[in-house]
Chains A and B, each alone.
Chain A
Amino acid sequence: MSTESPYQDRILDHYRNPRNFKSLKTCSHHGEAKNPTCGDRLSFEISVKKGLISDIGFQGEGCAISQASASLLTEYVRGKTASHALALAPGEVMGLLGISLSPTRMKCALLSLETLKMALKKQKM
């Protein structure tokens, strides 16, 4: 019945030592999203220059999956084009995590992508 644990070393490493967990001095894009049922919360700050994501930082709190996913995602999209990031599919984020999850936990894993896209779609106020 029980499948392989999602808490692989890589996930735990990104949870304990999140990459790009920071606030940017200046940014062109900002977005925040919440998963109200479990209280996961993410906020992304992104600096886009000439269509490229030159810097990205996230902050937030929540379960290991949501925070590790944000860490992995910021690592992945840094240096890529904003349009590439906007075109990312949920499956690709799951590929970055490299684990399989139940539908309930999938929401935790994909909050990062939702926040990233939300940020990229609107200019910072």
Chain B
Amino acid sequence: MDTLTAPLTNNESIRHEFPLFQKHPELVYLDSAATALKPKAVIDAVSGYYETLSTNVGRGLYPLAEATTEQVEAARARVARFIGAQGSEIIFTRGTTESINLLASSLAPSLRKGDNIVVTEMEHHSNFLPWQRLAAERGLEFRILPIGKEGGIERESLEKIIDHRTALLSVSAVSNVLGTRNDIEMITDTVKKIRSAIIVVVDAAQMVGHEAISVSQLGADYIAFSGHKMFGPTGVGILWGRQSLLESLPPYQLGGGMVIDACAELPQYKPVPYRFEAGTPDIASILGLGAAIDFIEGLGIDAIRAHEIDITRIALEKLHAAFGEEITVYGPTDADNRGGLISFTLAGVHPHDIAQTLGEENICVRAGEHCAAPLHRALKIPATARASFSVYTTGEDIDRLILGLERAKKTFTK
């Protein structure tokens, strides 16, 4: 395993674990913030479930069904350990989006007219729209915290916007556009000093799998993230909540697997987390997520973070060196303060034209608003191009990006 503990220097061996590179050897995949590629071990866990177990969870009394239940619970325990939580605090959802929608829906009855909900300008639509609608439906004020210098969140502006009627603050751990790593400890500390009952929700979709996370250290009340951005399959995500809070939360969807008794006038719900998991979950993806965590732990989360910092620093340096004044990079200037992604604009070339031109050379970047329209309005730009990195990103990938951008510049500059 020790060849994998230094991801940057042993990059080729890591790339061998991702079958997509065998199918597309020329691929320069710089869209890991949209979804990470899947290692063979994860793909095997998914197909292995269908080939060797294939049974439903939590119901059957025969050995195969019991084995499925056992494996799903083992995956839950692995997720819990990975983020420093209890298994009973881990709710399996379809992804970050469903986790946040679940929360917004289940918190609704506890909110009162005149309360306010605070989100930030940098939120992804999935951490913006559910709260905006909840506020509108419950007669709450919806407040948007402006971002500060270098796309960060400042204590002073938090203190200005949070007050004694604030019911909830929801914030991303790492911005999917700016790359800003928000200081969640500072944020929860500041907010809870103003009013301890304020619920702090963290959208950790761009954080988990990229750097170490400990829920107790962050101090938040709920954390949402997706499996597919951390090498896991699509279709599975996590909502973590403090046990005591989850216990006071009404269920989201009703159906099979979440009640003890449904005959009485009032159904008796199962304890957390099961009362939030109505219906058959995406079992294969849950087992795949377990394998993804094994993969991450095999590499070492700190080694992954170190590699992403390296690649981000190299990319920032090379982009500035190649394009000087013509390139605008958004977010923090220092690689240590950002996640492994860079959003930018290039003078004279529209981001869509950048993405398409690069695409012609099998270089995958994202262009547009990245589901963060409010942020792009605040920055007063229509769109950005985004390159995002992971363990399999190499220095050569960055060189190909630079060459591709130079070609795009030549093609479009008037």
Within 8 A of B (CB), among A3-42: 5-7, 12, 15-17, 36-41
Query: Are B382 and A38 closer than 8 Å at their CB atoms?
Result: yes
Q: List 17 A-B contacts (CB under 8 A).
A: A7-B353, A7-B411, A12-B411, A16-B414, A36-B373, A37-B369, A38-B351, A38-B368, A38-B382, A39-B369, A40-B350, A62-B350, A63-B351, A64-B350, A64-B412, A65-B353, A108-B352
In the complex, which residue of chain B has the Cβ closest to the Cβ of A36?
A: B373
- Asked whether B356 is an interface residue with its Cβ less than 8 Å from the other chain, the reply is yes
Chain B positions near chain A (C-beta within 8 angstroms): 350-353, 356-357, 359-360, 362, 367-369, 373, 376, 381-383, 411-412, 414
Task: Point out the residues of chain B lying under 8 angstroms from A39, CB to CB.
Answer: 369, 376, 381-383
User: A94: shortest Cβ distance to chain B, in Å?
Assistant: 16
Partner of B359, one of A2, A41, A64: A2
Task: Point out the residues of chain B lying under 8 angstroms from A36, CB to CB.
Answer: 373
Within 8 A of B (CB), among A109-123: none
Task: Point out the residues of chain B lying under 8 angstroms from A49, CB to CB.
Answer: none
In the complex, which residue of chain A has the Cβ closest to the Cβ of B408?
A: A7
Rounded to whole angstroms, the CA-CA distance of A7 and B409 in the bound complex is 13
Besides the known contacts A7-B357, A64-B353, 7 further A-B residue pairs in the complex with CB atoms under 8 A apart: A5-B360, A7-B353, A15-B412, A38-B352, A38-B383, A62-B350, A63-B353
Instruction: Please tell me the size bucket of the interface on A.
Output: 20 to 34
Task: Point out the residues of chain A lying under 8 angstroms from B350, CB to CB.
Answer: 38, 40, 62-64
Given contacts A7-B357, A65-B352, contact A37 B368 (CB under 8 A): yes
Task: Point out the residues of chain A lying under 8 angstroms from B382, CB to CB.
Answer: 38-41, 61-62
In the complex, which residue of chain B has the Cβ closest to the Cβ of A107?
A: B352
Task: Point out the residues of chain B lying under 8 angstroms from A15, CB to CB.
Answer: 412
User: B405: shortest Cβ distance to chain A, in Å?
Assistant: 15
Partner of A63, one of B352, B359, B369, B414: B352
Lowest 5 CB-CB distances: which A-B pairs, in order?
A39-B382, A63-B350, A63-B352, A16-B414, A39-B383
> In this complex, which of A12, A36, A38, A41 has the most chain B Cβ atoms within 10 angstroms of its Cβ?
A38
User: A6: shortest Cβ distance to chain B, in Å?
Assistant: 7
Rounded to whole angstroms, the CA-CA distance of A40 and B369 in the bound complex is 12
In the complex, which residue of chain B has the Cβ closest to the Cβ of A41?
A: B382
- Asked whether A105 is an interface residue with its Cβ less than 8 Å from the other chain, the reply is yes
Task: Point out the residues of chain A lying under 8 angstroms from B368, CB to CB.
Answer: 37-38
Task: Point out the residues of chain A lying under 8 angstroms from B412, CB to CB.
Answer: 12, 15-16, 64
Task: Point out the residues of chain A lying under 8 angstroms from B411, CB to CB.
Answer: 7, 12
Task: Point out the residues of chain A lying under 8 angstroms from B362, CB to CB.
Answer: 2
Task: Point out the residues of chain B lying under 8 angstroms from A108, CB to CB.
Answer: 352
Task: Point out the residues of chain B lying under 8 angstroms from A6, CB to CB.
Answer: 356
> In this complex, which of B352, B359, B360 has the most chain A Cβ atoms within 10 angstroms of its Cβ?
B352
User: B36: shortest Cβ distance to chain A, in Å?
Assistant: 21
Rounded to whole angstroms, the CA-CA distance of A5 and B412 in the bound complex is 13
User: B66: shortest Cβ distance to chain A, in Å?
Assistant: 44
Rounded to whole angstroms, the CA-CA distance of A37 and B383 in the bound complex is 8
